[in-house]
Structure formats: structure tokens, C-alpha cells
A and B are shown apart, each in its own frame.
Chain A
Amino acid sequence: MSTNALIALAATIIFGALVSGTPLLFATLGEILSERAGVMNLGIEGMMLVGAMGGFAVWFHTGNTFLGLLVGMIFGGLLALLHAFITVTLRADQVVSGLAVTFLGTGLSSILGAPYVGKAVPQPIPVILPLLDRIELQQLVMVLIGLVLAPAMWYYLNRTRPGLNLRSVGEYPSAADSLGINVYRTRYMYVIFGGLMSGLGGAAMSLVSDPGWVDGKTSGLGWIAVGLVIFASWDPLRGLWVSYFFGLLRRLPLDLQNPALPLISTANNPQLGRIMDMLPYLATIFILILGSREAMRKRIGAPAALGTPYNRGERGL
């Protein structure tokens, strides 16, 4: 392959990684805040799916991508509201409720999205600049949003009062409560925020990064996000890198399909492609194992109150 072709390939791969990783980033950022507040939401996959479906459906009827993203967010938020009610108010088990959200989201998106399967994808509209397709412009904008959102969230978490409150609620809710912070309201807010972001991630997938709707569009991305939050040590900035990294891992088998590539072409080596598909998941497990020992040593770990329903007056956290 010529040098130019290689550079073009590298650029495609990098851009592809960013685009592919950004929906994942949105979901991960949302879940980071939710978990920092102490609530684990395993329903990301379900929330992303209803977001993807809802967003696509709205676009289909209105042609307005922006509206589609907004509605996708709202759908995700609604499911999250359900999860918040069950886990914060009713203090039920967070694992089961999250799973239920996934089932519900998967089913709902499948049923309500059936009429939209395989329908025409968002078309580029002619723009002043003839070089960029509209869709690529949208993808660029999406990536930029992600690049801005992550540091903004970091700043929010670490340098603002609401962020301090959020972190305290997730670490030691009794202390926060004793100083007048409403633990329940805080948790509700951030669980719903997580849902909004997951819905956004899903809609971003079906409208921008990989336009179109099929049943099960997100193909497990939501589950990866759950692992990514841990991988990122609950830090939004690290979340940036890990999301793009996983975006890369997901795109690589596709991008390497060019048969002209010497050893590593996946077209010639479909087995390699499958093995590469496994990488994201194995990597998450690996990081968890590493992290468990590091965490014990460096006290950088999960928010201490993660997964524990808050009961005022009860001993412990």
C-alpha cells in the first residue's frame, strides 16, 4: 500500500474510533454520575435502545435530527425515572431493577420500533462547504460535543458545589444528610441524568454515528458502558480515553477488511476479526482484576456507598 493510502487509512480509523466511541462515551458519562451518586444502573442497554429507536422514529416523521436526539434523551430519561423510583424510593435491589429496565427497553424498542426497521437513513443535506457530507459534519459535531462534555463534567464533579454534594452522597450519604443535603433528591437527579445521557447515546447511534434502526441496534454497547465506568475509575476524563479506545476496538475489525492490507486484514483473516471482537470484553475483565488490587491499595475505587440503598437512621453508611 502506498503511504498516502496508509495515512488515509489511519485517518479513517482514528475518526472512526472517535465517532464509534462517542455514543459509548455519552452513556458512560451518564452512568459515571449516577454511580458517583451511589446508584448502579444496569439498564443502560435498555435506555440506549429506546433512545435509539425513539430518536430514529422522530427523525423519520419530522426529518429533524436535533429533535430526534432530544426525544431519544427523554425516552432514556423516562426509563431511568422508573429505575430511580424502584431503587431510591422503594429501596429495592439495584441489580434486579437495572436488569428489568434492560428487558423493558429491549422489548419496547423492538415492538415500537418494528415499523421503522430498515427505513431510509438520514440523508445529507447540501451545505455551503462542498467537501464535507452533512452526515460527516454531524458526526464531527457529535464528537466535539463529547470532547467538550467530558472535561465539563470533570469540572462539575470536582470544582463545583453541586459536584461536591454529588460525590458526598455517593461516598457517605449519612454525612451529606447530616449537613442538610437531600440524598434522595440527589440520587433521583443523577439517575435520571444517566438515563438522559444513555438515551442520547442511543439516539446518536441511530442518527449520527451509524444511521438506521434495526432491532437490537446497540448490540451490547450498553453492557460495555457498565464495565467502562469501572475501567474509567468513575472519572469523566478517563472515560473519554476508554470510550475512544473501545470505539477503536469495535471499528478495527471493520476497518481492517481491506484485503490489500498485509498480515492483519480481517477480510483474509475472519478468525482474527472474531478474536478482536472479544477484546473489549476481555480487556474490561482484565482491568477489573488489575483494578481490584490497585484499588485496595490506593483507595481509588468505587464510590463507597454504591449499590447500597440509603435508609436514614440505619447504621453504616
Chain B
Amino acid sequence: MNLPWKSYCLRIETRADNPGWMGVVSSILGVILALVVGGFVLRAAGANNPIATYREIFKEGFGTLRDWQAGIYALLTNTDCPKGLLCFGPISDTLVKASPILLTGLACILAFRMKLWNIGADGQMFMGAWAATGVAIFLLPKNTDRTVMLTTMMLAGLIAGFIYGAIPGLLKAWLNINEIIITLMLNYVAYKWLEYFVVVGPWSIGNFESTGRFTPSATWPRLTEYSKSIPVLAGLTAHPGIFLGVIAAIVLAWIIYRSRWGYEIRVIGDNPKAARYAGINLARNIFLVMGISGALAGLAGMNEVAALRELTGHFQRGYGFTGVIVAWLARLNPLAAIFVAILFGGLLVGTQLIQPQGIASMLQGVILFVVVGTELLFRYRVKLEKITPSIVAPVSESSNVN
């Protein structure tokens, strides 16, 4: 066959019909295809039975039917979880993992809606974690009421994230500097910033790369704290942080689809010229959107730090990038992001004990590729066809057919 670029070309035409379910289908297809490809890779890495591996991952992430039955039974009868079963363990861990992912996903959704490529959600998250830690250790006395403490930490996370996100926003609005590189670089600055404080600097306790345990009022209450009255909750680390994400998702969905500001954002993202024509202020919106996007990621940082109960040099990197995938897979829909985040939470939890460790990252990469590819296949009809002789070379820009 001829080289695809010589006498053939891929003609891409927009489909006339474009039902909404196609987006969902292509996302689901993406996940399935990713699993298939991942299976081959696992095989290559020596895992003999990829399906068993996947089942294991699912089990670790969500629990088996027996786990759930036992858990519900124990809940109703107020007894312990039977030995050998996990009950609500997996889902609890998954929800814990899902909450920062959801928040960074929402951060990316907001920015991407306006075609602002915020790749710096990781850095913004780190800064939020840093600020929340500062509040927990320094700002407020150790015996502050829990609600007050946590609220202040949330505020700190939001503000720090906002500022860190607004910086690339301003640079873009004023100097039109590409936000991709700036946010990327700022990630690393944030990593080092945190390291400075926690590993070698003023916050580290002794020779440990850690701030030490927070005072209890600076941490999320966990389900396990209620295990005295409800035994099945023993050992469960799930905390209200997941609600932060869900609430944020609902609020964001309302903003995007129902509010006047959301309308402006969608118009700018789709056609900045039309936005300007309608009198919409581009620079102000770039600033606000990047700032709020950063704020959401900063909140994710606070969420993590309140859950981990301390800040260490091993603060997990990468949630910001997972947020990118969540945003894409959720088709920039905040409500869908909730489900995608839980899925990814399960994935991360499920692969924690699996060797080799890179499975999650690889799967994420494949998913992203497949989703991008299938989205194009669905949005456009891709045909391989011989170059029609009508127009064989670029036409000069004359304004009409003369």
C-alpha cells in the first residue's frame, strides 16, 4: 500500500450526529482498551495471569461481594468484622485516595474548560499542604477547637493554592506566557519548597524528614474513631474529606452550567473572539480561573495533610497529573469526575501491593492515549481516502470563490 501520506490522506470531517452518549462510550472504551494493553505489558513483565492481577487489584480497591455482605451484616448487628474478611476496608481506603484526586481533577476541569492548561495542580497541592501545615503547627495553638482548626487549614490551603495558581494566570494574562511550562516548573519549585521546610529546614523534627504528628484537632476525624460504638468501623481511615470533593464538584457543576460566570468561561474556552465580541473580559477571567483552579488543588493538599496527620518529605507527588487524566476521562464534567476519581482511587489502592509498581502510571498513560484517540474517532469520521483531485494543493486565502 502506498505510504499513507503520499496519495492517501486521512480526511477528517465532523460528524453530523453527535449524541452525548458517545463521549461516555469512548471513555469506557478507553478504560477497557487500557486494561487490555496493560494486560499485555504485564505479561511481558512476567505476570503470568493478567486477569488474575486485575481481579486482585479490584479486590484490593473495592472489596469482594463477601466483604460487603459481611460488612453490612456487621453494621446492622453491631458486631466486629469477621476475621479474614475486609468488610469496608477497601472502599474506605479507596475513598480516602479518591478525595485528593477528585479535587485536583476538578482543578483541571475548571482550567481546561477555558483552554488553560494547568499542569501545575501538583505544585498547587503541595503549597496548599504546606500552608495548612503551617496553620496546624504554628499559627493556631494546639488546643484549638477542631472545627476552627480544620476550617482555618482549609482556608490556608485555598489561599495558598489560589496564589500559586494565579501566578501563571497573571503571566499568561499580561505577558501571554505559555502556562504549560510555567506551571510545570512551579511544580518542582513547590516540591523543593516543601522539602526545604520539612526535610532540612525549620519544620523538621530532629533527623526525621517530618513535622511530626499534628495535634489531633488538626486532623480529620476518622471512622475508626467511632469503632467503640460501631465495631465494624475499626481500622477504617475514611474521613469527611471526601465530602469536600463532592461538594466542590456540585458547586463547580453549578458554576459551569448554570451561572453567568460559567457561561463566560465556556464561551472564552470555545471562541475567545466571540467572547470579546460579547464584551467578556478575558484577562480577568484568566486570572480568576487559574487562581480558583489552584485553590482547588491547594484544598487537595490540605485534605491530604489532615488525613495523613503529618507532613513528611515523602508527600505523594503525582496527584496533579492524575487530575489531568480524571478531567479528560470525565469529559470536563465535574459530576462525572466524582465517579472517575473513585475509579482511580480504587486503581491506586488496588495496585499498592502489586509489583511492579508502575502499573497505575502505565494504565493511566494508556487510558489517556486511548481516550484521546477514540474521542477523535467518535467526534469525527476518519476516512482513509485517495486524495480527491479537486483541490490538490493549498489554496491562497482569497475571501471567496472567484
Instruction: Let me know if chains A and B touch directly in the complex, using CB atoms closer than 8 Å.
Output: yes
Q: Which A residues contact B (CB, under 8 angstroms)?
A: 42, 46, 82, 86, 89-93, 95-97, 99-115, 174, 177-178, 182, 184-185, 188, 215, 220, 223, 226-227, 230, 270-271, 273-275, 277-278, 280-282, 284-285, 288-289, 292-293, 312-313, 315
For the A-B complex, the count of residue pairs with Cβ-Cβ distances under 8 Å equals: 173
Which residues does chain B contribute within 8 Å of A280, judged by CB atoms? 188
Interface size on B, residues (CB 8 A): 63
16 contacts between A and B (CB under 8 A): A93-B372, A96-B328, A104-B362, A104-B366, A107-B360, A113-B356, A113-B358, A220-B188, A226-B184, A230-B181, A273-B200, A274-B199, A278-B188, A285-B185, A285-B189, A313-B394
Query: In angstroms, how far is the closest chain B Cβ from the Cβ of A214?
Result: 12
Q: Are the CB atoms of B185 and A114 closer together than 8 Å?
A: no
Q: Are the CB atoms of A99 and B10 closer together than 8 Å?
A: no
Measured in the bound complex, the distance between the Cα atoms of B372 and A312 in whole Å is: 22
Measured in the bound complex, the distance between the Cα atoms of B201 and A278 in whole Å is: 15
Say whether B78 faces chain A, with CB atoms less than 8 Å apart.
no
Which residues does chain B contribute within 8 Å of A105, judged by CB atoms? 365
Which residues does chain B contribute within 8 Å of A273, judged by CB atoms? 200
Known A-B contacts A227-B181, A288-B182; the reply to A111 vs B356 at CB < 8 A is yes
Q: Are the CB atoms of A285 and B394 closer together than 8 Å?
A: no
Within 8 A of A (CB), among B144-167: none
Say whether B42 faces chain A, with CB atoms less than 8 Å apart.
yes
Say whether B48 faces chain A, with CB atoms less than 8 Å apart.
no
Known A-B contacts A177-B393, A270-B200; the reply to A285 vs B369 at CB < 8 A is no
Q: Are the CB atoms of B372 and A313 closer together than 8 Å?
A: no
Q: Are the CB atoms of B181 and A226 closer together than 8 Å?
A: yes
Which residues does chain B contribute within 8 Å of A292, judged by CB atoms? 175-177
Apart from the given pairs A274-B195, A278-B192, 15 other A-B contacts in the complex at a CB distance below 8 Å: A46-B365, A90-B382, A96-B372, A104-B366, A106-B362, A110-B358, A111-B41, A111-B359, A113-B356, A178-B394, A182-B6, A270-B200, A271-B196, A278-B188, A289-B171
Say whether B278 faces chain A, with CB atoms less than 8 Å apart.
no
Among A89, A90, A100, A282, residue most surrounded by chain B Cβ atoms (within 10 Å): A100
Say whether B357 faces chain A, with CB atoms less than 8 Å apart.
yes
Q: Are the CB atoms of B373 and A86 closer together than 8 Å?
A: yes
**Which of A115, A215, A223 is the one whose CB lies under 8 Å from B184?**
A223
Measured in the bound complex, the distance between the Cα atoms of B393 and A61 in whole Å is: 51
Q: Are the CB atoms of B45 and A111 closer together than 8 Å?
A: yes
Measured in the bound complex, the distance between the Cα atoms of B44 and A289 in whole Å is: 45
Q: Are the CB atoms of A99 and B373 closer together than 8 Å?
A: no
Q: Are the CB atoms of B394 and A112 closer together than 8 Å?
A: no
Within 8 A of A (CB), among B179-204: 180-182, 184-189, 192-193, 195-196, 199-201
